[in-house]
C-alpha cells in the first residue's frame, strides 16, 4: 500500500537513550500508510546511540552533535521540516500502530481544526502498559484553571500554520515546554480531542518526569506568569487568574514535595494559600509533610505525576 495524505514532520530529540530509542524509531517507521518526514536530533550521546542510529542506514535521517537542550533541538527540527502536520516524539515514547493514519484522516475531515490530541498509555521500562494517561475532552478554560496537563504530548499533532502564528517552543523551558505550548495554543487556535489511543509515554528511572521532578516546580510558576501577562487574553480567562495561580502553585508544591525539597513545597503551598484558601488539610500536608510523609506515600504507591485537579 502506497503512503497517502498530508506529510507529517516528526522530530525526535535524543540524549543517551540507547535503551529505548530503537522502539521509538520502529514505531514511526511502521506508520507506512502515511507520508512521514522523520528526523532524530541527538545531542551527542555517548551511550551507543550514534552506533544504533548509524545502523538504520538510509532509512533514517539523523544528526548527532551538541545542542542547546531538548527544546532547542525540537525547534531546530521544526524550522527545517517541510511537513503539513507537525509534532515531536521523545526518544523513549512510541506511536501506536495506525496512529498517523487516524490523525491524517481526522485533519482531512476537519479542515478548521488546527491541533488534535488523542489518548495515551503509560508504559514501563519493558513496554508493559501501567495505566492510562489522564486525558480528557478539550476545555481550554478548565486546562487554565486547574493547571493539570491532560493533553498527552506524544499523542498531539498540529498544522504547520500554528508554528507560523504562535511560534516555537520556549527554549528556556526544559520540563514543561509542552504544557506551556498548549496554554499558548488555546488562546487563539482550535484544538480538538480525538478519543482514540495514539501513543505510549514511557516512565522509567531516567525519565525527567521522575528523576528531575523538582525542576517542574519553578516552570509551573513561570508559564502561568507568562500566560496572564498576555495582552490578548480574553476577559473570561483573565477572570480565572486567582484560581489558576492558586492551583499552579499547589502543583508546583507537589513537584517539590516529590523531589524531597520540602522547604520549597512549603513555600509554594503557602503562596497558593495566599491566592485563595483551599481545604486546610491539603495545605497542612504540603507545609508540614517531610521525609516520613514522603516515605509513607511511596509505600502506598504514590507517584509524582499523579496530579489531580484541585477543588475548593
Are residues 256 and 185 part of one domain?
no
Count structural domains, the chain: 2
In a domain, 304, yes or no: no
Rounded to 10 degrees, the C-alpha dihedral 218/220/222/228 comes to -150
Are residues 232 and 284 part of one domain?
yes
Q: Which residues face 8 on adjacent strands?
A: 36, 85
Are residues 15 and 90 part of one domain?
yes
- Closest listed residue to residue 10, CA positions, set 258, 165, 199: 199
In a domain, 139, yes or no: yes
In a domain, 306, yes or no: no
User: Are residues 97 and 30 in contact, defined by beta-carbon separation less than 8 angstroms?
Assistant: yes
Are residues 274 and 151 part of one domain?
no
- Residue corresponding to grid cell 504514590: 302
Q: What is the CATH number of the domain that holds 156?
A: 3.90.550.10
Are residues 272 and 229 part of one domain?
yes
Are residues 138 and 242 part of one domain?
no
Task: Give the whole-angstrom CA distance, residue 60 versus residue 205.
Answer: 27
Of the candidates 210, 236, 259, which is a domain's last residue?
210
Are residues 286 and 149 part of one domain?
no
Q: Output the pLDDT for position 143.
A: 97
**What are the two backbone dihedrals, phi and then psi, of residue 19, each rounded to the nearest 5 degrees?**
-70, -25
Task: Give the whole-angstrom CA distance, residue 204 versus residue 292.
Answer: 24
Contacts of 58 (CB under 8 A, 6+ apart): none
Task: Give the whole-angstrom CA distance, residue 186 versus residue 74.
Answer: 20
- Closest listed residue to residue 282, CA positions, set 259, 258, 305, 312: 312
Q: Which residues face 228 on adjacent strands?
A: none
DSSP run (H or E) holding 236: helix 235-238
Q: Output the pLDDT for position 312.
A: 30
Of the candidates 190, 210, 230, which is a domain's last residue?
210
Are residues 173 and 27 part of one domain?
yes
Name the DSSP class of 215.
G
In a domain, 95, yes or no: yes
In a domain, 309, yes or no: no
Are residues 61 and 108 part of one domain?
yes
pLDDT in tens, the chain (312 residues): 578 889 999 999 999 999 999 999 999 999 999 999 999 999 999 999 999 999 999 999 999 999 899 999 999 999 999 999 999 999 999 999 999 999 999 999 999 999 999 999 999 888 899 999 999 999 999 999 999 999 999 999 999 999 999 999 999 999 999 999 999 999 999 999 999 999 999 986 665 555 578 899 999 999 999 999 999 999 999 999 999 999 999 899 888 888 889 889 889 988 988 887 765 555 556 666 666 665 655 555 555 444 443 333
What range defines the domain where residue 53 resides? 4-210
Are residues 263 and 231 part of one domain?
yes
Q: Output the pLDDT for position 310.
A: 37
Of the candidates 180, 210, 240, which is a domain's last residue?
210
In a domain, 192, yes or no: yes
Are residues 216 and 67 part of one domain?
no
User: Are residues 243 and 311 in contact, defined by beta-carbon separation less than 8 angstroms?
Assistant: no
Are residues 191 and 237 part of one domain?
no
Task: Give the whole-angstrom CA distance, residue 98 versus residue 27.
Answer: 10
Amino acid at each position: 500500500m502506497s503512503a497517502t495524505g498530508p506529510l507529517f514532520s516528526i522530530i525526535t530529540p535524543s540524549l543517551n537513550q540507547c535503551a529505548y530509542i530503537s522502539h521509538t524509531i520502529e514505531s514511526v517507521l511502521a506508520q507506512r500508510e502515511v507520508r512521514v518526514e522523520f528526523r532524530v536530533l541527538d545531542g551527542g550521546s555517548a551511550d551507543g546511540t550514534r552506533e544504533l542510529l548509524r545502523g538504520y542506514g538510509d532509512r533514517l535521517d539523523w544528526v548527532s552533535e551538541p545542542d542547546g537542550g531538548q527544546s532547542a533541538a525540537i525547534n531546530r527540527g521544526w524550522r527545517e521540516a517541510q511537513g503539513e502536520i507537525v509534532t515531536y516524539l521523545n526518544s523513549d515514547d512510541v506511536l501506536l500502530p495506525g496512529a498517523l493514519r487516524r490523525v491524517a484522516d481526522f485533519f482531512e475531515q476537519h479542515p478548521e481544526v488546527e491541533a488534535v490530541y488523542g489518548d495515551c498509555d503509560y508504559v514501563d521500562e519493558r513496554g508493559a502498559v501501567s495505566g492510562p494517561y489522564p486525558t480528557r475532552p478539550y476545555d481550554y478554560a478548565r486546562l487554565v484553571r486547574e493547571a493539570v496537563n491532560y493533553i498527552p504530548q506524544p499523542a498531539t499533532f498540529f498544522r504547520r500554520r500554528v508554528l507560523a502564528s504562535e511560534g516555537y517552543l520556549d527554549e528556556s523551558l526544559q520540563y514543561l515546554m509542552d504544557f506551556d505550548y498548549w496554554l499558548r495554543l488555546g488562546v487563539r487556535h482550535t484544538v480538538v480531542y480525538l478519543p482514540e489511543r495514539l501513543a505510549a509515554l514511557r516512565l522509567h528511572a531516567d525519565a525527567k518526569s521522575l528523576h528531575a521532578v523538582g525542576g517542574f516546580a519553578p516552570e509551573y510558576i513561570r508559564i502561568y506568569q507568562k500566560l496572564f501577562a498576555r495582552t490578548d487574553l480574553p476577559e473570561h480567562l483573565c477572570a480565572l487568574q486567582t484560581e489558576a495561580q492558586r492551583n499552579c502553585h499547589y502543583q508546583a508544591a507537589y513537584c517539590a514535595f516529590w523531589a524531597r525539597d520540602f522547604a520549597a513545597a512549603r513555600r509554594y503551598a503557602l503562596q497558593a494559600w495566599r491566592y485563595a484558601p483551599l481545604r486546610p488539610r491539603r495545605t497542612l500536608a504540603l507545609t508540614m509533610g517531610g521525609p516520613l510523609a514522603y516515605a509513607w506515600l511511596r509505600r502506598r504507591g504514590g507517584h509524582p505525576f499523579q496530579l489531580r485537579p484541585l477543588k475548593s
